[in-house]
Structure 1
Amino acid sequence: MKVETRAEILEILKMPQQEYLAAVAPEARRVHQQENGGRLTATAMLGYSNVCKNQCLYCGMRAANSAVPRYRIDPRDVLASLSAAHELGFRRVFLVSGEDPKYGFDKLLQIVAGAKALGMSWVSLACGEYERSQYEELRAAGADEYVVKFEMSDRETFDRLNPSTSYDRRMAAIRSVKEAGLLLASGNIVDYPGQTLEQLAEDILLMKKLEISWAPVIPYLPAQNTPLAAEGGPGSRELNLKEISLLRLMMPRVNITAQQPGENPADGLASDDGNLAALAAGANFLFADLLPTAQAQAFRVVDNRITLGLEHIRDMAQRSGMEFHF
């Protein structure tokens, strides 16, 4: 199944769900099997700070959200957690934080170098917008991949929902990541209030154009105490699954997040049915959260973020018929 154009993307986005499930999702799963051996990859994830200076209208960690207890984890404690993860078999780690100017950049370099010294073969980061020279320092310290989500490809919408930055500044950061020699992970929010199918199609085309290594995409999930939550949501799970399949068909080797919501919102991103549906649609990545439960609940990018343990990922691999892989 060949999908390249905006019209072909829109055809699938508008397709009746049963037709999509019968024809498109199985083809996306077949492509993953053919190109990547049908692997489900487990990655350790650690949110080392939930302090953020930004005021994004959709994010639960926005600076104005006083309901969130804030924390910062010292580099020594981060590395102790990564050491424990390494002993369990993890070789990939995703380090994520709010855009926290008081968490020194030197500490981040220390964590990256320490992770590599522990034997982590893959270090991915999502810590905000930096200058190219800083991305180069991260790469020199051992970082492999950096996440800068464009969130929405529509410039006017981006500037409205992200008042602490701008579309131009975000795209400049994305270019800088690539120019620094890091792999770029990027993606969008699916079906946020007011998004059209045409805008969603443009998001997908932008991911293809950017030649991303990982697509950390999820449907819009309203977060408490955020302005956008009053405008509607949650986003369509069905559209999100279609996007996952489209990304697999258009970029066969890309990594795609399977940590997705299911029918019960209370399950958050740890939903068995949500994860299994995403895997059936062509996704291949699940995370084990290294944060203690209290802090994991405070890391409110979206609500109901529940720790995914290693056993959960193994269970998802077995139930989906995929090969578990560290």
Structure 2
Amino acid sequence: MSAPSSLLAAKFSQQQIIEFLSGKHDEWLFDQAKYVTQQVFNNQVYIRGIVEFSNHCRNNCHYCGLRSGNRQVSRYRLTDVEILDAVSDIAQLGIGTVVLQSGDDWQYSAEKIAKLIEKIKQDFDIAITLSLGDRKHHELKLWRAAGADRYLLKMESFNQSLFNQCRPHSDFNERLARLKYIQSLGYQTGSGVITDLPGMTDEILAADIITLSNMALDMLACGPFIAHPQTPFAQHANGDVLRSHRVSAILRLMNPGANIPATSSLAVLQPNARELALMRGCNVIMPSFTPAGVYHNYNIYPGKNAATKQVTQRVASIFEQIQHHGLQPNLSRGDSKRNHYVSRC
């Protein structure tokens, strides 16, 4: 294969993507993804700080350890003060984005979240990404007006049959429509898939990649499936790291300006897999600033938040890993380069 002559988004057919997924063109694929990422982001890796403020979830997804049917989870909810203290820790390190994440926990009302957003914007010069699941349209609109900059709503798969198998009692069309509504509100919008979900084929994954790319999203997430012992998918094999890297690389070539995180799930399966992903299309790393007392309880898959080091030590280690590969940690807001947005800081 020949190298692209520009940084314009590549257009691949489903069959071409299936060939990439098979590993037939790994050297070309990874070389081109590395080149495009370095050209667009100038060797910069954006650092985000995550605060996972609740592990309560009303959903019962078959792949997730936080599923409502799992009675072995130690549940927690952070107070406003605890959340703001964690955000303060992020801001004091100079990190320009906080990601507020939780299960689908409706105990946090729309008004409570809006006040929290306003308080963060008042006290810190920082961008806010929300990852709060399926909330009502008026809530999403309220949070955007309060100052939230980004919203991540993963589909896990855009194949309706597979979606239904993985997310019982969820409405595929409703979630997809919500994702499009989030875009219409002016959020920098993200979605993504889990590679090697039980039942996922190369054909399904290739179609997912095309759908994601056609949506012109600002954030694209992909990470390998990891079986959790307290879920219906407990006996299925874990996903393949190399396949996840191939998906990141394909997404980079098809979406040059999108932000693509190197997910923590990669490091669970292979110690160097997350930093290697930065050489294969990814440009974001998101360390967790969830308070130590509940940090280990955000256990969506085994190994998630398993580190024993203090957060400042974890961040320093991430910086070293990034710099080892000739890249530079970037603490700025790191807005999407795909679309134009008005900052609400």
TM over 0.5: yes
Residues 287-317 of structure 1, C-alpha deviations (whole Å, 9 max, x = no match): 1211133412110122211356211221122
**Once the 2 structures are TM-superposed, how far is the Cα of residue 224 of structure 1 from its aligned partner?**
2.0
Alignment correspondent of 2:304: 305
Q: Which moved more, 1:301-310 or 1:123-132?
A: 301-310
Residues 100-130 of structure 1, C-alpha deviations (whole Å, 9 max, x = no match): 1112222211221122222243110111112
CA contact (8 A) 1:28 1:245 kept: yes
Whole-angstrom CA distance in 1 between matches of 2:299 and 2:220: 20
Whole-angstrom CA distance in 2 between matches of 1:272 and 1:38: 22
The letter of the residue matching 1:205 is: I
Bigger helix share: 1
Q: Which moved more, 1:75-84 or 1:93-102?
A: 75-84
Whole-angstrom CA distance in 1 between matches of 2:85 and 2:241: 36
Structure 2 residue ranges without an equivalent (≥5): 5-9, 332-345
**Once the 2 structures are TM-superposed, how far is the Cα of residue 80 of structure 1 from its aligned partner?**
1.5
Does 1:259 find its partner at 2:263? Answer: yes
Q: Could you state the TM-score of these two structures normalised by the residue count of structure 2?
A: 0.88
Alignment correspondent of 1:268: 268
Q: Which moved more, 1:132-141 or 1:63-72?
A: 132-141
Whole-angstrom CA distance in 2 between matches of 1:120 and 1:207: 31
> SS at 1:79's partner residue?
helix
Does 1:30 find its partner at 2:29? Answer: no
The aligned runs of 1:103-252 (5 Å cut-off) are 103-230=108-235, 232-252=236-256
**Once the 2 structures are TM-superposed, how far is the Cα of residue 42 of structure 1 from its aligned partner?**
0.7
> SS at 2:116's partner residue?
helix
**Once the 2 structures are TM-superposed, how far is the Cα of residue 171 of structure 1 from its aligned partner?**
0.7
Whole-angstrom CA distance in 2 between matches of 1:157 and 1:138: 31
Residues 176-230 of structure 1, C-alpha deviations (whole Å, 9 max, x = no match): 2112221211000101112100000011111111111111211101112000122
Alignment correspondent of 2:64: 59
Q: Which moved more, 1:109-118 or 1:46-55?
A: 109-118
Whole-angstrom CA distance in 2 between matches of 1:97 and 1:303: 17
CA contact (8 A) 1:132 1:180 kept: no
Whole-angstrom CA distance in 2 between matches of 1:115 and 1:272: 34
**Once the 2 structures are TM-superposed, how far is the Cα of residue 272 of structure 1 from its aligned partner?**
4.3
> SS at 1:184's partner residue?
strand
**Once the 2 structures are TM-superposed, how far is the Cα of residue 260 of structure 1 from its aligned partner?**
4.1
Q: Could you state the TM-score of these two structures normalised by the residue count of structure 1?
A: 0.93
> SS at 1:186's partner residue?
strand
Whole-angstrom CA distance in 2 between matches of 1:118 and 1:244: 35
Structure 1 residue ranges without an equivalent (≥5): none
CA contact (8 A) 1:219 1:240 kept: yes
Alignment correspondent of 1:10: 18
CA contact (8 A) 2:129 2:150 kept: yes
Closer/same/farther in 2, CA of residues 24 and 196 from structure 1, 3 Å limit: same
> SS at 1:288's partner residue?
coil
Percent of counterpart pairs with the same letter?
Answer: 26
Whole-angstrom CA distance in 2 between matches of 1:33 and 1:130: 36
Moved over 4 A (4+): none
CA contact (8 A) 2:63 2:232 kept: yes
Does 1:322 find its partner at 2:321? Answer: no
Whole-angstrom CA distance in 1 between matches of 2:143 and 2:49: 19
> SS at 2:130's partner residue?
strand
Alignment correspondent of 2:337: none
The letter of the residue matching 1:154 is: N
Does 1:285 find its partner at 2:284? Answer: yes
**Once the 2 structures are TM-superposed, how far is the Cα of residue 323 of structure 1 from its aligned partner?**
1.5
Q: CA RMSD in A?
A: 1.6
Structure with the greater relative contact order (CA < 8 A, sep ≥ 6): 1 or 2?
Answer: 2
**Once the 2 structures are TM-superposed, how far is the Cα of residue 131 of structure 1 from its aligned partner?**
2.3
